[in-house]
Structure 1
Amino acid sequence: MYFDQVDCGNRVRRVRTALGYTQENVAEQLNISHSHYCNFEKGKRMLSIDALIELAALLHLSLDFMLMGQEPQNDIIRHKVRSMIEFMTAIEKEL
């Protein structure tokens, strides 16, 4: 097992787009430039460990999955499902 920067960026890009975030949104949340974030997703640059942790929290990813592609544990999946249910419930109340 080894770290592949390009694969990491691709995994993050897929999750980011699935959640509806733009690169600009994420870069702003991480307090980094859009070009730095764009280069991260392309595998050309790495983020600081602090930014990686913030990104994992923002996208509801485990660092294991984000960096190495290892599937998340059941408790992480359970947390994501609960978050989605809460989100959908809030939307339903607004309708």
Structure 2
Amino acid sequence: MEIDWAACGKRIKQARESAELSQEEFAEMISLASNSIGRIERGEQHPSVRTLWKMAHALNTSIDYLLDGVDSPQTNEVLLHLRQIGSQLAECTPKQLEYVSQILLRALLLRDDLENYN
């Protein structure tokens, strides 16, 4: 699959403008030079995966949407939950993170049973 970088740049620009962010504000949020934002939005520069992740996070969307315009409601819901969980996990010790990780993995293994529980 070829990535249409010009279309990706247009989606980034639309999302940035929808968030009412200038290129300078957006660049500062994701630790990138503001002139790089313009080049990315015009499709002249290809962002790294890390930069795409930062952009998607800052713009409250998914990398899928930025790259190919596909953004399902389920993806948005998952992102919302992950951000809520992530903010709580940021305050955990490594031992607590391991414990929470084990609990989540067990819950995911049992998710079919959890659906029948309701």
TM band (smaller chain): 0.7 to 0.9
- For structure 2, the residue ranges without an aligned partner over 5 or more in a row are 81-118
SS in 1 for 2:10: helix
- Which residue in 1 is equivalent to 2:40? 40
More displaced stretch, 26-35 vs 65-74: 65-74
The alignment-based identity, stated in percent, is: 25
- Which residue in 2 is equivalent to 1:69? 69
- Higher RCO (C-alpha 8 Å, min separation 6): 1
Contact 1:2 1:68 in 2 (8 A): no
Q: RMSD across aligned C-alpha pairs, in angstroms? A: 1.7
* TM-score with structure 1 setting the length: 0.74
- Which residue in 1 is equivalent to 2:105? none
Q: What is the CA–CA distance in structure 1 between the aligned matches of 2:75 and 2:53, rounded to whole Å?
A: 18
Q: What is the CA–CA distance in structure 2 between the aligned matches of 1:10 and 1:77, rounded to whole Å?
A: 24
Which letter does structure 2 place at the counterpart of 1:52? L
Which letter does structure 2 place at the counterpart of 1:61? T
* TM-score with structure 2 setting the length: 0.60
Which letter does structure 1 place at the counterpart of 2:11? R
Q: What is the CA–CA distance in structure 2 between the aligned matches of 1:18 and 1:46, rounded to whole Å?
A: 21
Aligned residues: 79
- Cα separation, partners in 2 of 1:75 and 1:52, compared to 1, 3 Å: closer
- For structure 1, the residue ranges without an aligned partner over 5 or more in a row are 80-95
